[in-house]
Chain A
Amino acid sequence: AQSVTQLDSHVSVSEGTPVLLRCNYSSSYSPSLFWYVQHPNKGLQLLLKYTSAATLVKGINGFEAEFKKSETSFHLTKPSAHMSDAAEYFCVVSVETGGSYIPTFGRGTSLIVHP
């Protein structure tokens, strides 16, 4: 079985300050891990993904995440927040099960960016 926990339902930062969105996962097998972003009234967009290559993954819009197996974490960071980063962020774990990859989504973290 697999699960993912996003440790904060809301994160509030000021524009120009660093962003940290936390994600812990649980998986019986080697997982693939992802971060998606959802802007209001939009579908989800992939930010970045980890699939057992480099543990530090760079994504779009300046975001990156580090896979730490010992801590079962995959936290998302960005050095400097922009107003346009305000959105809902989802951490996803996906493990092969019988030839298929079934994704499990976290409950989401709402990022609020203050001017």
Chain B
Amino acid sequence: DSGVTQTPKHLITATGQRVTLRCSPRSGDLSVYWYQQSLDQGLQFLIQYYNGEERAKGNILERFSAQQFPDLHSELNLSSLELGDSALYFCASSVRDRDHNEQFFGPGTRLTVL
């Protein structure tokens, strides 16, 4: 158990809908990362937050957004969902942001868009 929790574990929804994925980092970790894992694209970095502020952006679509709250949990919002958004979404946390220290991954949320 990495200490990172993600809810829900599974999510099934329809095209055009909006969903919110939640992540709680390890105790003491200030940095949160979001990743998308699909068969087509592999594992892609989406976005990073550090202590409430956006720190780095990867291949995140404009329909997707994220935030990190004062208690350091983070949410990833996916809107106007398309079939191609079906994937496993991982959250990871680490202590710092200014160097590549170890990231601890949550178990993921499997999103299915029908």
Q: Report the contact-size class of chain A (Cβ under 8 Å from the partner).
A: 20 to 34
Cβ contact of A43, chosen from B58, B102, B106, cutoff 8 A? B106
Q: How many residues of B contact A (CB 8 A)?
A: 22
How would residues 86 to 108 of chain B score, 1 for a CB under 8 Å from any chain A CB and 0 otherwise?
A: 00001010000111101101111
Look across to chain B and name the residue whose beta carbon is closest to the beta carbon of A97.
B56
Say yes or no: A34-B100 contact (C-beta < 8 A), given A100-B48, A102-B45, A108-B43: yes
A43 touches B42 (CB 8 A): no
Give the residues from 18 to 62 in chain A that come closer than 8 angstroms, CB to CB, to chain B.
Answer: 32, 34, 36, 41-46, 49, 51
Question: Could you list 16 examples of A-B contacts with CB < 8 Å?
Answer: A32-B100, A41-B107, A43-B92, A43-B107, A44-B43, A44-B105, A46-B103, A94-B100, A100-B56, A100-B97, A101-B97, A102-B56, A103-B100, A105-B42, A107-B42, A108-B42
Contact check, A43 vs B105: say whether CB atoms are below 8 A apart: yes
